[in-house]
């Protein structure tokens, strides 16, 4: 094997084959979910739920508690988001893309800091403060919790949280030894940038009409 191949994928020599296959499947559905989100398509939720369900299973096996909690939360918020996105605001229209209100910014801040406290307590209970990555996990978990909540509310600012969280996650997951997941977050970063631009364009168009 080439040194480059070994650098990126050597860690998978320790994994079960079906775990590698499941990670790849989860990554594919995760990418589909983000693409559908960029397109403001309701399919973001069923594809995302498949991805998160697989990752919850894998992360439990790999002992990554913080990452597992993120995906459990994603699954729950996907159910909520699916409801919000299909809810009729009148006889013809569903919940539209909108900007985050001042009240929602305050709720987002509460979610962020509450998540940090929650993850801290959980990590204390399960003695997970064994690496510097645990501290980064705490922050990224809070960022993604806010991002998922705002996406479920169909708020354009959700993309800003995804962009920040994705950028942090690329080297983090690579360091943890999950190359496919790291590549997924790299692709997520670019899709999130385009998603933010696309949602802003749709929002501005709606405001004009």
Q: What secondary structure does DSSP assign to 28-57, as a single string?
A: HHHHHHHHHHHTT-TTHHHHHHHHHHHHHH
In a domain, 27, yes or no: yes
pLDDT of the residue at 82? 93
pLDDT confidence band for 67 (50 / 70 / 90): confident
What is the percent of the chain with per-residue pLDDT over 90, rounded to a whole number?
55
In a domain, 5, yes or no: no
Structural contact between residues 24 and 54, judged by C-beta atoms closer than 8 angstroms: no
Whole-angstrom Cα distance, residue 94 to residue 115?
30
- Helix, strand, coil percentages in the chain from 3-state DSSP, rounded to 5: 80, 0, 15
Q: Label residue 44 exposed, middle or buried (CB < 10 Å: 0-12, 13-18, 19+).
A: buried
Whole-angstrom Cα distance, residue 47 to residue 131?
32
In a domain, 8, yes or no: no
pLDDT exceeds cutoff 60 at 9: no
In a domain, 1, yes or no: no
pLDDT exceeds cutoff 70 at 148: yes
Task: Specify the number of domains making up the chain.
Answer: 1
* Chain segment 30-52, per-residue pLDDT in tens: 999 999 999 999 999 999 999 99
SS3 156: coil
In a domain, 196, yes or no: yes
In a domain, 110, yes or no: yes
Range of the domain at 192: 16-89+101-208
Give exposure, 16-31, as e/b (b: 16+ Cβ within 10 Å).
eeeeeebbeebbebbb
pLDDT exceeds cutoff 60 at 174: yes
In a domain, 177, yes or no: yes
pLDDT exceeds cutoff 80 at 93: no
In a domain, 108, yes or no: yes
pLDDT confidence band for 7 (50 / 70 / 90): low
pTM tops 0.85, yes or no: no
- Alpha helix ranges (H) inside 87-176: 102-125, 132-152, 158-176
> What's the chain's average pLDDT?
87
């Amino acid at each position: 094997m080439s040194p480059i191949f070994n650098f990126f994928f050597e860690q998978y020599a320790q994994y079960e084959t079906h775990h590698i296959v499941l990670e790849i499947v989860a990554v594919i559905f995760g990418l589909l979910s983000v693409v559908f989100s960029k397109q403001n398509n309701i399919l973001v939720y069923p594809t995302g739920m498949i991805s998160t369900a697989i990752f919850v299973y894998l992360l439990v096996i790999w002992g990554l508690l913080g990452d597992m909690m993120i995906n459990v939360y994603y699954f729950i918020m996907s159910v909520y988001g699916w409801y919000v996105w299909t809810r009729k605001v009148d006889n013809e229209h569903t919940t539209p893309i909108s900007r985050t209100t001042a009240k929602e910014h305050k709720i987002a801040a509460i979610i962020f800091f509450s998540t940090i406290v929650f993850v801290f307590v959980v990590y204390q209970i399960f003695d997970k403060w064994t690496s510097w990555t645990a501290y980064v996990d705490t922050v990224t978990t809070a960022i993604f919790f806010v991002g998922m909540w705002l996406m479920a509310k169909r708020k354009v600012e959700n993309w800003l949280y995804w962009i920040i969280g994705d950028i942090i996650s690329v080297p983090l997951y690579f360091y943890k030894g999950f190359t496919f997941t790291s590549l997924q977050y790299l692709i997520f970063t670019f899709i999130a940038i385009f998603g933010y631009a696309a949602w802003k364009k749709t929002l501005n168009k709606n405001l004009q009409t």
